[in-house]
Structure 1
């Protein structure tokens, strides 16, 4: 119900603004044509009659329909996630397909301690602000939010978008900058500035629609488990960012970053060794 009311209210507001704009144009045109004062009754009579013509009312109804549909699409798209609704409509993933993607698993530091300190309701409010502030960098660097899992967010890129201009790495540092930009807000409202750690990896996934009562586009593949385990090693290496050597090897050299090799490690619960690096912005 709130969803529909929100769309109706927005549609009315936009429509009123458009009608006022058209009315202003009509009055201005009549002033010029009649060479009259704005207080001249003829100006307002002509403009008033114009507002009730079939042509004008038809245009208003048409514009209202377009605005309503656009707002509905935008609201549903926001709830499902970036590009998800478009993919549903185009049928891109009706049939499962394999593709190369980059994943970032980003986890808030000391979230349990923070939740206990703030209380669950206040913690939830902070979490909402936290995710809102992280959203703009994700959009700016062509990322797609795949999942929110409590205090963890999973961000994904197509291989091309993630490698382009080092979008995946730049997104991480832009997210850190976004939180720092709002540190006064967090300090005043919550008495702390949340921090996070992240793991990056790239690999092949199978992507497709799943579900009957509720449809979702999901990724399946070893790369997700591997990325989660890479992120879990951040505390072990005492760093905020871990990236697989497999992903780093695909990124062209860039003097904006300092890359430090951390060596090879065995991932927890997997009979697999992987080379890891950490990345910092060059000063």
Structure 2
């Protein structure tokens, strides 16, 4: 039996592991600087751990696990805890919490490293004598500064990841789109119904809160169906898939229905809090795009190609024809047979700005 992680679990892992990698490489960097400065001669043997291969392996594992623990806390615990705070206050509060947590972890791991260095057990008095000397030494303050640097760098990474999106940040780091690439992708343009009148009714502040709640409810379905958010444009969201992923089990279509189901499950909440139940319409299309980094003042991953223009115009036809989800024949023909059989042809229709008609199909 082959065990497969869900898309959401894989995404969470891909967000947590970089913290461990940051801590590991930063730890190696600091150890390398110390080695070059001292020639691996222990300047303070009464409070410092002498580096050996065994200690290096233990220390590497310890800092990697510490980084992973920070990643777990960032992804699952502190994700929304300080949302109302400014960036400076958020970093300061998290720094304090993480530093306390890491100092406790350091206090637990130092005796283990000391026992490895001395070749003895944890119950040996020499281990604990060294530990108590360490707590009142320059070595301890050096460790405190090192931990603070680890935490600060990780929080900077976390901030960039939250604002740019994990996938975008990873692509910028790896340079995948440093040079424009041609690739096949699926796009969904999803637009909220009656948004103009709703914004007027709620006012700009409550409408902002409403949009935040609305997008939050859609996010799990997007992740579970391996989609990526390309852009938020007011009340419109653009979701994209690599074509192979989006077509696998019809995920691009299933995502639409999963999002709709999630909003329906929260209908009572939206009605009670905002006096309205949100709904949306969407256009789906696939094709070749050029993908690359763009921007002089702000870098972002940018898609360009006729497929985006077509998808946007398809979405606008949903309201005219009273449909919730419309797609093109080229995408419909690649869907699983059961989904394709449910599609209803709307005939050959004209799209704004295009000379040739295109056959469109309703999926909902």
Task: Check 1:151–1:279 CA distance in 2 against 1; reply closer, same or farther (3 A cut).
Answer: same
Q: 1:255 to 1:273 in 2, by over 3 A?
A: closer
After TM superposition, the structure 1 stretch with the greater mean CA deviation from structure 2, 153-162 or 54-63, is 54-63
Kindly state the Cα deviation for residue 188 of structure 1 after the two structures are TM-superposed: 1.8
Shift of 1:25: 8.1
User: Could you tell me which residue of structure 1 aligns to residue 160 of structure 2?
Assistant: 76
- 8 Å CA contact 2:333–2:340 kept in 1: the answer is no
Q: Does the 8 Å CA contact 1:201/1:243 hold for their aligned counterparts?
A: yes
Match of 1:104 among 175, 188, 205: 188
Change in Cα spacing, 1:21 to 1:242, as seen in structure 2 (3 Å) is same
What are the within-5 Å matches in structure 2 for residues 87-98 of structure 1?
87-98=171-182
- Indicate the residue corresponding to 2:233 in structure 1: 149
Of 102-111 and 228-237, the range deviating more from structure 2: 228-237
- Between 1:142-151 and 1:264-273, the stretch displaced more is 264-273
Moved more, 66-75 or 117-126: 66-75
Deviation at 1:55, TM superposition (A): 6.6
Which structure has the highest strand share of the two?
1
**CA deviation after TM superposition for structure 1 residue 22, in Å:** 5.7
TM-score, normalization by structure 1? 0.83
> Corresponding residue for 2:279?
195
Query: Residue in 1 aligned with 2:62?
Result: none
Instruction: Return closer, same or farther for 1:49/1:171 CA change in 2, 3 Å cut-off.
Output: farther
- How far off its partner does 1:210 sit? 1.6
The answer for unaligned runs of 5 or more in structure 1 is: 35-43
CA RMSD, Structure 1 to Structure 2 (Å): 3.1
Is contact 1:8-1:68 (8 Å) kept?
no
Q: Name the count of aligned residue pairs.
A: 272
Could you tell me how far apart the structure 1 residues matched to 2:206 and 2:217 are? Answer: 17
- Normalising by structure 2, what TM-score? 0.66
CA contact 1:82–1:144 (8 Å) conserved in 2? no
Provide the residue aligned with 2:21 in structure 1: none
Partner in structure 1 of residue 8 of structure 2:
none
Alpha-carbon distance change, 155 to 92 in structure 1, aligned in 2, over 3 angstroms: same
- Structure number with the bigger relative contact order (C-alpha 8 A, sep ≥ 6) is 1
**Structure 2 residue runs without a partner (length 5+):** 1-84, 112-121
Q: How does 1:130-169 map to 2 (within 5 A)?
A: 130-169=214-253
Aligned pairs (5 A) from 1:19-34: 19-20=103-104, 33=123
Q: Structure 1 residues 21 and 177, CA, compared in 2 at 3 Å: closer, same or farther?
A: farther
Q: Flag the 1:47–1:191 CA change in 2: closer, same or farther, 3 A.
A: farther
Q: Distance in 2 between matches of 1:183 and 1:224?
A: 31
Pairing 1:200-279 to 2, within 5 Å after superposition: 200-254=284-338, 258-279=342-363
Which structure has the highest helix share of the two?
2
Greater Cα shift, 57-66 or 163-172: 57-66
Moved more, 231-240 or 61-70: 61-70
